[in-house]
Amino acid sequence: MDTTLHATPPAAAPAGPHAVSGDSALAAEAARRRTFAVISHPDAGKSTLTEALALHAHAIGEAGAVHGKGNRRGVVSDWMDMEKDRGISITSAVLQFAYDGTVVNLLDTPGHADFSEDTYRVLAAVDAAVMLVDAAKGIEPQTFKLFEVCRARGVPVITVVNKWDRPGLDALAIMDELSTRIDLHPMPLTWPVGVAGDFHGVLDCATGDFVQFTRTPGGATEALAKRMSAAEAERLLGSVWTDAVEEYDLLRSSGHDYDHELFLSGAASPVLFGSAVLNFGVRQLLDTLVTLAPAPGARPDQAGTPRPVTAPFSGFVFKIQAGMDRAHRDRLAFVRVCSGQFTRGMVVTHAQTGRPFATKYAQSVFGRDRSTLDEAFPGDVIGLVNANALRVGDTLFAEEKVAFPRIPLFAPEHFAVARAAVTGKQKQFRRGIEQLGEEGVVQVLTSDRRGAQAPVLAAVGPMQFDVAKHRMEHEFGAPIRLETLGYSVARAVPAAVTSIVDSRPGAEALVREDGMHVAVFADKWRLASVEKDLPPGSLTPIFG
């Protein structure tokens, strides 16, 4: 059997701030980074898994749960009030921690389809993804969509079948779903011993050993794991063990052994089984990430030319978030380091304006918590405080000029006019709406017809409006009223023909905050009717 899973992880670099010199030292720092996102359909256990990974890396002392009980706290990656109230992830979160000589940059993402744009931005900043599948539900619609984004971006995927401690589907049936529904060749690294709901542990497919799990109270601390030989497992479990071995042998005989090149190409996925809420199988996932997930590599610039990790510093903004520090009401720009060494205080160039940008206030992020960051290397995520000049998709560089591809916006499908609920709060209203647009919470559209007092908020899903309303009231002190508009289709349109669009019923021309002219229509039939009166090719898809 393949033993790649047990390869020796990269050696740890010296602790604390230190200057590296030479390409080999930079390459070594990049080689010990693993930057990945956790993606899933809502309620598959994504945030719980994020917490469990941090627990097993000893980055936290005790795991929480999305729906905490008693004195058990909520997960560290879900820090917004709305996330705690609703028990879902609304915004992505970054956690950096060390594990076995490796620096792990873990990005938790929203699972709900309404927040797809935030997830897409995160997937632009990672080198791999962990796709969580609910054992009882299998491949769900949002899981499929997120995987398609990974495939389009060339992001290799590790699959984790979660909630095996609860009744669910047959393990072979889930493998078949991966193969037939999303055309992903499954390569099990662990195989469940016991059917879903009767979870004893896993067969380690690389060694043939049995790893037995014993739960701890509430699953708040690491599960106890005991490794034993196949002979010991058979004496202990009898037919439960032999059934698991026979199932895996059946898969193996069908060509499901691990193939590293197939994994990196995105055609196949390593598969592990576990229970995040009980911390079963979490250490196996961490070990897999360290040994199999790709380290940061050369990233193509706008022209398609790969920029090696040993080039001078460069990075791009993939997320902007305000409201993390209520005491200071500051705004944080999240920057993925693509090449070179970052040192706090260095002056870099903002590619979009050509202006110098000081980095004195650089921070490392762990959920909501932040600490001063002195250095970073390819794969790391830097938090730049009060970086008001930066926008999502912007590039920062030192010495050698570079600009990375912009992160496109999705085509919105829901539209509402926003108005200040309190007339004396116009200044706060304008500032808040502008900031929500810059962060990508919603897209902000304006027109001469409606004026600045009544911008149109555009969203992929209606829950984005709930977030906008909540933040406008609680962060900016400017409650808003939303009036839903009857539009459902958006297209990019040249400025020269916007007057024609505006003259037709069931259609309207607006301008997005980045200057793009957007035509919105009541439905696809209204779009087709207006399109007949425009020059060919005037209406083009925005994205998605």
Domain boundaries, the chain: 30-295, 300-397, 414-531
Fold held by 300-397: Rossmann fold (3.40.50)
Alpha carbon of 221 to those of 51, 107, 212, 217, 227: distances in Å? 11, 22, 16, 8, 19
Element holding 261 (H helix, E strand): helix 260-265
Q: Which of 372, 63, 334 is nearest to 223 (CA)?
A: 63
Tell me what pLDDT residue 475 has: 87
To 10 degrees, the CA torsion angle through 27, 297, 264, 411? 160
Tell me what pLDDT residue 399 has: 94
The domains spanning 300-397 and 414-531 adopt the same CATH topology: no
CA gap 135, 195 in Å, rounded: 10
CA gap 444, 378 in Å, rounded: 33
CA gap 534, 539 in Å, rounded: 8
What is the dotted CATH code of the domain comprising 30-295? 3.40.50.300
Fold held by 414-531: Alpha-Beta Plaits (3.30.70)
Sort residue 101 into left (φ over 0), alpha (ψ -120 to 50) or beta. left
Q: Which of 129, 130, 154, 149 is nearest to 306 (CA)?
A: 154
Tell me what pLDDT residue 78 has: 41
The Cβ-side half-sphere exposure at 291, using a 13 Å CA radius, reads 17
Asked whether 477 and 428 are in contact (CB, 8 A), the reply is yes
Feature table: binding site for GTP: 108-112
Feature table: binding site: 108-112
Tell me what pLDDT residue 504 has: 95
- Range 225-244 burial, b when 16+ CB lie within 10 A, else e: beeeebeebbeebeeebeeb
Q: Which of 243, 223, 219 is nearest to 233 (CA)?
A: 243
Tell me what pLDDT residue 519 has: 96
Q: What are phi and psi of 342, to 5 degrees?
A: -95, 135
Asked whether 322 and 282 are in contact (CB, 8 A), the reply is no
Burial class (CB in 10 A: 0-12, 13-18, 19+), 419: middle
Q: Which of 134, 178, 90 is nearest to 440 (CA)?
A: 90
DSSP bridge partners of 384: 333, 362
Tell me what pLDDT residue 15 has: 38
pLDDT tens-digit profile, the chain (544 residues)? 333 333 333 333 333 445 565 689 999 999 999 999 998 888 888 888 888 888 887 776 554 443 333 333 444 444 345 444 544 444 567 888 899 999 999 988 775 566 667 888 888 999 999 999 999 999 988 788 888 888 888 999 999 999 999 999 999 999 999 999 999 999 999 999 999 999 999 999 999 999 999 887 766 678 889 999 999 999 999 999 999 999 999 999 999 999 999 999 999 999 999 999 998 999 999 999 999 999 999 999 999 999 999 999 999 999 888 766 555 567 889 999 999 999 999 999 999 999 999 999 898 887 677 888 999 999 999 999 978 889 889 999 999 999 999 887 778 899 999 999 998 899 999 999 998 988 888 999 999 888 888 999 999 888 889 989 998 998 889 999 999 999 999 999 999 999 999 999 999 999 998 899 999 999 999 999 999 999 999 999 986 4
Place of tokens 């009030």: 81
Tell me what pLDDT residue 224 has: 86
